[in-house]
Chains A and B, each alone.
Chain A
Amino acid sequence: MRSLTTGRAALIAPAVALLALLLLALSSLIAASVVVPGGPWYGHYRKFFGDDLYVAYIYRSFRVAAYTTVCALVIGYATAYVMTRVSMLTRRLIVIVLILQFFSVSVTRIYSIILLLGNNGVVNRTLLGIGAIDAPVRLIYNELGVVIGLVNAALPFAVFPIYSVLERIPISLREAAHTLGAQRTRTFWQILFPLSLPGVGASVVIVFLYSLGAFATPLLLGGGFVDLISVFSYEQAINFSNYGFAAAGAIASSALGLAAVYGFTALLERQVRTA
């Protein structure tokens, strides 16, 4: 009995330590955001929300995160679905590709996208070569480029939660629906998709929060036009030593992000209960 308790404590201790560290970091961030020399405690927040330049970081971050989430979800769901229908060998191959993608160095991955989609990239040179376009199409240095980069990076986060749920749905359910005369589309929307919602929910939350906090991808693929909130915080904290203002932006973004995630999960739970 004692050994069981000790074992549990040993397992819980790292989690408590991690949580304590997280809370400590978060509280120091909050504290920094409300310390305003010679001004009211909310001074940094007033400056942040009082200037369109800074509010635009929030809008842009949420917009890019939303586009990325939708795109990653569609591609991720399709990939996960395919993984449940193919042979073991093909499935392993897809898993290997996704894992390699996950562990590849982000800057290298981003530069490979530039070499592919840039003005002088493979896509534009091919299109110019076959006469489909007269001038290079701008595929990067805009929100499209950032979304492409983020979807590319976030795809493993989208695929695996959905796949883990899809593979547990008994095949007999699909067969029963088919026996009862349901078409594939109807089977998918009325049986498979509702049952896979927990996986979809997990994917959405992970990909959305990952995109919201992305740094290198928007910095390099946005070409200076699509800086997200992380770039704002970095610049203020590191380049201008303005920690309080950087913290205010980070706290505002995190609070809004958490609110969005909370709203989404509440909606999803209701949907799952009624499904």
Chain B
Amino acid sequence: MRTNYSIPAVLATIVIGMMPAFAAAETLVIQTWSGVWETGARAVGDSFAKKYNVEVKYELQQNTRLGIAKLRAQAASPTIDIAFSTNDALEQAASENLLVPVDLKAAPGLSALPQKFVHKNYVEVMNILFGFVYRKDMAAFELTKWEDLADPRLKGKLGVPTAQFAGGRWLIMAALANGGSENNIEPGFAFLKRIKPNVLSFYSTDGESVKVIQSGEVAVAGFGILSDFAKLLGSGSPYRFVIPDGSPVLTSVVSVGMANPRNAALSLKFLEHIAQPEAQAAYCAVINCTPVNPKASPPDAIKDFRPAPERIYAADFSTINKKLPEWDEWYKKEIQAR
């Protein structure tokens, strides 16, 4: 008797084909930056997917503020569950009720982090360090301090950010380096006036900061992110990244917030996952950042740049976000004009 195997075979194929769909019924949508930042997010997201047997999808944001604009646009019916952003931007998002509050009782895994990094609406996960970078083959001298940016030998060789770069941190750094702060910005403004004659161009993104110095347009990028330049450093490199001694160190903190109340339980698990040393180390190995979990080590490439914790300045971004439009006007009139 001839047996027909075709029907069972088709059924088996359909069932096997559907198995992953049933097994990974839950989906987490993560919004992150592109490039190396996406690779870092995938390092954490993929291990999360494996651990909890869920599907993780990635959506890219062109920059931090556009990412927040996207959350704002879909506020009525969010599709993004997890937003990678910076602490200042998530502070802004929280003030607009775009984030789901973090339920600490339901997330014991967050106790892995020092509690100053766990906020009501988001969690700070990695520190990104700022400093200036210069080309040894183009700068006429060795730069070691912020005041060196005002040296006349750098006339026409300096690129600096716009006021809005990194949520206004350039202005805050200028103030901190000269004895001021976000509550006393004037010393920073005076410093910016001193360096103005040296400025050739302004950049508005960190990607541009790398390109202007790589192309040799400027000898010095006056304010940049270590993570962007770490891959260019090392022995024999023409680039030198400097976090000047003496003044407080300003950081940007990669932070993670939950944007979709309908998927809050799974999102909270992701927050717990990224707080663990393994996930932190995996992310920072790609990004070249400093984990906030003390049990996780930063990658070798940036170990020399790890500042003492007491030097890291905790800026008040609720104040900065309020004052930035006014400072931006001043900057455009006084600095970003010939």
Contacts and interface: CB of A to CB of B under 8 A. Distances in A.
B325 interface: yes
Interface string B322-338: 00110011001100111
- Chain A CB within 10 A, most for which of B200, B203, B328: B200
Interface string A112-123: 001100111000
Contacts of B162: 224
Contacts of B215: 111, 114-115, 118, 120
A242 interface: yes
A115 B214 CA distance: 11
A239 interface: yes
* Chain B interface SS verdict (over half): mixed
Contact of B336 (A225, A240, A241): A225
Contact of A224 (B202, B325, B328): B202
A53 B201 contact: no
Contacts of B208: 220
Contacts of B202: 223-225
B72 interface: yes
Given A53-B329, A118-B215, A223 B201 contact: yes
B162 to A, nearest CB: 6
A238 to B, nearest CB: 5
Contacts of A95: none
Interface residues of A, number: 21
A36 B31 CA distance: 32
Contact of B325 (A114, A120, A223, A242): A242
18 contacts: A51-B329, A53-B329, A114-B211, A114-B215, A118-B215, A119-B156, A119-B216, A119-B217, A120-B216, A223-B201, A223-B202, A224-B336, A225-B201, A225-B202, A225-B337, A235-B328, A238-B65, A240-B328
Given A223-B200, A225-B338, A235-B164, 6 more contacts: A51-B329, A118-B215, A120-B217, A219-B204, A224-B201, A237-B69
Q: 10 closest Cβ contacts across the A-B interface?
A: A224-B202, A223-B201, A120-B216, A141-B201, A238-B65, A239-B164, A118-B217, A239-B65, A240-B325, A224-B336
